[in-house]
Structure 1
Amino acid sequence: MIKKLRWKFITITMIIVTILLVSIFVTLYYSTKTGYRQRSMDALHTALKEDFPANNPPPPRREETPVLIADVGTDGTVTITKNRLADTDSSDAGALISLVNEKRKPAGILEEQHLRYLRGNKSPDGRIRYVFSDIYAEQNSLRRQIVYSAVIGFCAFAAFFLFSFFLSGWAVKPVERAWEQQRQFVADASHELKTPLTVILSNAGIMSQPDVVPDEANRLRIERIRAEAERMKQLVESLLTLARSDSGNASAAFRPLDFSFVVNSSIMTFEPLIFEMGKRISYEVDNNIRISGDEKKLRQLADILLDNACKYSLEGGLITVGLTASSGRGAVLSVANEGKALTEHEIKQLFHRFYRADPSRSDVAGYGLGLSIAESIVKEHGGEIRVESEEKGVNRFTVVLPIGDLIEK
């Protein structure tokens, strides 16, 4: 949980940093682009008015942008008034004017020629003026700005990532300390409760004998004490299992094993119980699927999923178990049951401790810890577990575990 909280902190920080960096660089880019365009258009408008009779001629200004001025007479003759474009000959003016006329816009850009153009209105003598400005340097400058922004952005992103990584460790320390204290308390309390519970069960077992307590009513009371102590012992063992998993000190004896045998053994154990409950089971388990893991814990995983399916399936409902091997995915164990369809909210909460998807069904035994233990076992084996619910009420738990070599059949 602490790792998830820390990475969530880092993710939020980096999203904010990314938005800020992108906003800054985009703003700089478009402000620079707007400045270049404005200077270029000023040069074009100034060139458009050159040598034109007017009552208020524009004031002289220093020419900053190379321009080409071409006038087209009424007979289509092209006259070059000024040419300051380094790579454009006067003979190219006709072709440029044709490209401008094809665009049918009074102002725009000729991308391939790296030119910005402006077409004026007809003068009193019928001429039309076309002016062109060189924007090659402008385009190069904008491209360099994009590259520099990308490099600076990447370096800034990396620096902020390192900063947020170390900052997150400092920020979650109080939470980590509280979580560790809580985990230690649960582990210590669970461990300390095991001994008195064992003593209670042992003495209750002795006292339930007819020769020790002849009165049947008292023996019944003792049996109830023993039953409740047994339930409490199961709860304590479940809490202790989760506490060990949280601390990373769970003792798992990993070795190559036949996962098919483990699943089949669990099915054989639950099959009579399922029939007694008036429900049905169908299973299809591929043979000789080898994985590396703790056999005891994997058996517990299969038992938890089958027990959950038994508890929450409808009367007469079908429980389906499948185990297949896939080279791309691994060993895939699925347990499905016909029951009440789960909502999206319930699916998200399902693996939380002490959560019961249907609180109204108080007659269902359990504490809401089984699926939490199943999830911890799956994570310990490097796998994943997910839940799917169909509208028809079929709830399916799917476990994917890394697969070992398949035994030749």
Structure 2
Amino acid sequence: MFDKLKRKFIIINMTLLTVVFIAIFSTIYIMTMISAARQTEFTLNTLMHAPPKPSPNNPAIATSIIVELDKKHNIVDVFSLFDIEKESIEEAISQAIKSKEPSNNLKIEGSSYAFLKQETPRGMKIVFADRSPQQAMAINLLKIFFLVGSISLIVLLLISMYFANRTIKPIKEVFEKQKQFITDASHELKTPLTIIKTNAALVLSNSEETVKSQSKWIGYINSQIDRMSKLIDDMLSLAKLDNPQQKIYFSSFDISKTLENILLSFEAVLYENNIELDFNINKNIFVNGEKESIKKLFNILMDNAIKNTLPKGKVSVNLSCDKSKIEIEIKNTGDGIPKEHIDKIFERFYRVDDSRNRESGGYGLGLSIAKSIVNEHNGNIYVKSNINEYTSFIVELPQSVK
């Protein structure tokens, strides 16, 4: 599919470039030929008004022929600085006399000449100007155009192929990511569905038992339904963020208070997991953004920090700002993230520790959603980590004036 798209891109590009080259070269060629024709016309008029024995120093005379005829079209005089057969000049004169046009082209001894005839008191005067230089110039011009055009098109073909690859690459990456996303989502949905189906089968096989006696299997079913519900919510969030036509309305709000409220909502979870919370939040910091999205961002980062902090560990939250940006850092002690995983940490369905995420109910979508939210707010998010020490997520957002 992408090879076909690339070929189509190259064909359209090269067709347009070829048409442009042909148009440019044709224009240059036509203008050159018009100029040469005018030069020949000027030479013929100059010869027509030249004296019977013009000066040989005149450059127009060098390859020209001047013929004087009487009223019966007999040759009175022939002036030429080069040798020419009598039969050839007589044939040329005959063709010129028979021509209905006062000026035209003909061949003399294999060379192309333009002629101009005019009645005179003595009879007729015919002048012939050699067109061979103009014809040679036209042929050379065509050769140059062909050579330059061919080389240019080959170079442009290579450039088009290069840019076609660069143009198709992000489209291909998006397609592959979507394909992988569907595959991963299908896989993630398959697991809870299998568990639900198995437990439902166990309940049905013991239909005579009471609901209370089968609460274990029903509990498993509810647990998997909750997991599926969270996965679907996360997928819908990503779809919303990925949709360029989805309008997001920004407004200025106090991000300091928003973060404080989020931290308060995690107090019970932190206490249950025996995790210390340390925070330093500068007051009255405002940001221009979508408040619910920013709250979701904080929830994701806090949830991620708690899941990856061992009991008796610590989560640190800092909010500060300077003249241009706001910086939020959410740091947790723990195993840290290996360097080879840091570049992939924001990819969809990516897990550093697959078993831990499955135990905690994670699908590897949270950080991907977080990055999408930050991108929507023209911000930046990155990770710092030391193995067996800490992991720190740092978010930078543009500041809003209160």
- TM-score, length of structure 2 as denominator length: 0.50
Q: Is the 8 A contact 1:241 1:250 kept in 2?
A: no
Larger Rg: 2
What's the CA shift string for 1:134-181, capped at 9, x where partnerless?
xxxxxxxxxxxxxxxxxxxxxxxxx89985785246634872784597
Aligned residue number for residue 280 of structure 1 = 276
Match for residue 235 of structure 1 among 231, 235, 243: 231
Matches within 5 A, 1:248-327: 248-327=244-323
What's the secondary structure of 2:359's corresponding residue?
coil
What's the CA shift string for 1:87-125, capped at 9, x where partnerless?
xxxxxxxxxxxxxxxxxxxxxxxxxxxxxxxxxxxxxxx
Structure 2 Cα separation of the partners of residues 297 and 316 of structure 1: 30
Q: Is the 8 A contact 1:387 1:396 kept in 2?
A: yes
Aligned residue number for residue 357 of structure 1 = 352
Q: 1:305 to 1:171 in 2, by over 3 A?
A: closer
Matches within 5 A, 1:199-210: none
Aligned residue number for residue 70 of structure 2 = none
Q: 1:171 to 1:356 in 2, by over 3 A?
A: closer
Q: Is the 8 A contact 1:342 1:395 kept in 2?
A: yes
Shift of 1:357: 1.3
Q: What runs of 5+ residues in structure 1 fail to find an aligned partner?
A: 7-158, 205-212
Q: Is the 8 A contact 1:255 1:292 kept in 2?
A: yes
> Which letter does structure 1 place at the counterpart of 2:233?
E
Aligned residue number for residue 335 of structure 2 = 340
Q: Is the 8 A contact 1:183 1:243 kept in 2?
A: no
Structure 2 Cα separation of the partners of residues 382 and 374 of structure 1: 13
Aligned residue number for residue 381 of structure 2 = 385
What's the secondary structure of 2:400's corresponding residue?
coil
Shift of 1:319: 0.5
Matches within 5 A, 1:8-407: 163=160, 167-168=164-165, 171-172=168-169, 175=172, 178-179=175-176, 182=179, 215-328=211-324, 330-361=325-356, 362-390=358-386, 393-405=389-401, 407=402
Q: 1:360 to 1:256 in 2, by over 3 A?
A: same
Structure 2 Cα separation of the partners of residues 308 and 251 of structure 1: 28
Structure 2 Cα separation of the partners of residues 319 and 162 of structure 1: 52
Shift of 1:241: 1.8
Q: 1:178 to 1:251 in 2, by over 3 A?
A: same
What's the secondary structure of 1:367's corresponding residue?
coil
Shift of 1:366: 0.7
Structure 1 Cα separation of the partners of residues 303 and 167 of structure 2: 42
Structure 2 Cα separation of the partners of residues 305 and 224 of structure 1: 28
CA RMSD of aligned residues (A): 3.7
Shift of 1:254: 1.2
Shift of 1:331: 0.9
Q: Is the 8 A contact 2:314 2:332 kept in 1?
A: yes
Structure 1 Cα separation of the partners of residues 159 and 251 of structure 2: 38
Structure 2 Cα separation of the partners of residues 282 and 161 of structure 1: 58
Structure 2 Cα separation of the partners of residues 170 and 346 of structure 1: 28
Q: 1:215 to 1:392 in 2, by over 3 A?
A: closer
What's the secondary structure of 2:331's corresponding residue?
strand
Q: Is the 8 A contact 1:312 1:339 kept in 2?
A: yes
Q: What runs of 5+ residues in structure 2 fail to find an aligned partner?
A: 7-155, 201-208
- TM-score, length of structure 1 as denominator length: 0.50
Aligned length: 232
Structure 2 Cα separation of the partners of residues 173 and 350 of structure 1: 20
Structure 2 Cα separation of the partners of residues 255 and 161 of structure 1: 48
What's the CA shift string for 1:189-242, capped at 9, x where partnerless?
9xxx9xxx9xx9xxx9xxxxxxxx963123443333222111101101112222
Structure 1 Cα separation of the partners of residues 270 and 243 of structure 2: 36
Q: Is the 8 A contact 2:335 2:387 kept in 1?
A: no
Q: 1:247 to 1:321 in 2, by over 3 A?
A: same
What's the CA shift string for 1:288-316, capped at 9, x where partnerless?
11111111110000001100110001220
Structure 1 Cα separation of the partners of residues 292 and 306 of structure 2: 21
Q: 1:392 to 1:256 in 2, by over 3 A?
A: same
Q: 1:380 to 1:230 in 2, by over 3 A?
A: same
Structure 2 Cα separation of the partners of residues 322 and 175 of structure 1: 39
